Structure 1
Amino acid sequence: MSGTITAVSSNGTYSFSKPNRESVTLVAGLGVEGDVHAGATVRHRFRMAKDPAQPNLRQVHLMHEELFDEVRAAGFEVAAGQLGENVTTRGIDLLNLPTGTRLHLGDEAVVEVTGLRNPCAQIDGFRKGLMKQVVGRDAGGAVRFKSGIMSVVLTGGVVRPGDPVRVELPDGPHTPLTIV
């Protein structure tokens, strides 16, 4: 299973959207160099208020570009980086990867998938009604979050649009993603 990186984004200050970059550098154990969410311990403001010492399982946020196609069909224009992701991909079913999947990004970088991103109220602040598009139901009626996945950096490296993404599944049995 493989795909392509279509955009990379980062922001040194807290904001909902992240500007696109020509490249980002992933740093092992920390995340995206210069990004506000980089760090060994949690950097998400809500989670920091609860326990600032907890490990940062949300170092790199990845989102599938196919989501933008889906929400566009529902009347919403969303571009890479606007939902706060660091790496936008095409061609990989990110949401159905198991926990522990390793994604090889470009020539060097490797991230390990830790879980799903939980969509927050800021999504409706960005585009009113968009939250309903990124929270759906599966065939059995269970809630399904579609706002990307989170990961930690195992091996650092420079990542650029156009770089390949190679998927390395963990040994089974596989554990479905849950919110981190």
Structure 2
Amino acid sequence: MHTQVFAVHRDSEHRFSKTTVPFIELLKGLGVQGDAHADTTVQHRSRVKANPDQPNLRQVHVISASLLAHVAEQGFSVQPGQLGENITLSDAPGLDWRAMISLPLHTELHFASGAVVQLTGLRNPCVQIDQFEKGLFAAMLDKDAQGQLVRKTGVMGVVLRGGAVQAGDAVHAVLPAEPHQALERV
């Protein structure tokens, strides 16, 4: 499964949206250099309140540009970085938003620079999404054919190997050895 990086984002403050930048530097075991969520322990405010010592499984947030197109079809206007992601991937056959959230746990995203992000789980949408655009929270949730909750807001990961990432960089997904485990919310 191959695609390209569409855009990259970071923010040194804990804000909902992130600023699009020319490149980001992924730091092994930490996340995105200069981003408020970078560290070995959890940095997301709600998670810090629950247990500030838990490992940071949410160092990097990745979504597909196809998710932005999907919500645009529902009448929402969301640009890259506005959902708080660090990396927006280009729309690619076989790696759209549905395929991305269906990847197994420990899938590795290999970037052209040599950087590697290992997927740890699904981003759980929060009510801040409705503060960004009313009704968007509901659009980020769905039910599958078996009635299970589907979280559309992308995947989270940890940095296994550092490196610079920028728009246009090739990226490919490497699946872990079987048996595969489904991504759960982190």
Same fold per superposition (TM over 0.5): yes
**Residue aligning to 2:133:** 127
**Residue aligning to 2:110:** 104
Does structure 2 conserve the Cα–Cα contact (< 8 Å) formed by 1:106 and 1:160? Answer: no
Runs of 4+, deviation exceeding 4 Å: none
C-alpha separation between the residues in 1 aligned to 2:67 and 2:35? Answer: 23
**Residue aligning to 2:160:** 154
C-alpha separation between the residues in 2 aligned to 1:173 and 1:154? Answer: 21
1:105 Cα offset (Å): 1.7
Which secondary structure does the structure 2 equivalent of 1:70 belong to? helix
C-alpha separation between the residues in 2 aligned to 1:179 and 1:85? Answer: 15
Aligned amino acid, residue 174 of structure 1: H
Which secondary structure does the structure 1 equivalent of 2:138 belong to? helix
Spell out, residue by residue over 1:121-144, the C-alpha distance to the aligned partner (whole angstroms, 9 max, x if none): 000110000011110111112110
**Unaligned ranges ≥5, structure 2:** none
1:27 Cα offset (Å): 0.1
Structure-2-length-normalised TM-score: 0.95
Which secondary structure does the structure 1 equivalent of 2:131 belong to? helix
Which secondary structure does the structure 1 equivalent of 2:101 belong to? helix
1:9 Cα offset (Å): 0.2
**Unaligned ranges ≥5, structure 1:** none
The alignment status of 1:28 with 2:28, answered yes or no, reads yes
**Residue aligning to 1:72:** 72
Which secondary structure does the structure 1 equivalent of 2:12 belong to? coil
C-alpha separation between the residues in 2 aligned to 1:30 and 1:104? Answer: 17
Aligned amino acid, residue 28 of structure 1: K
Query: 139, 162, 168: which is aligned to 2:145?
Result: 139
Structure-1-length-normalised TM-score: 0.98
Percent identity over the alignment is: 47
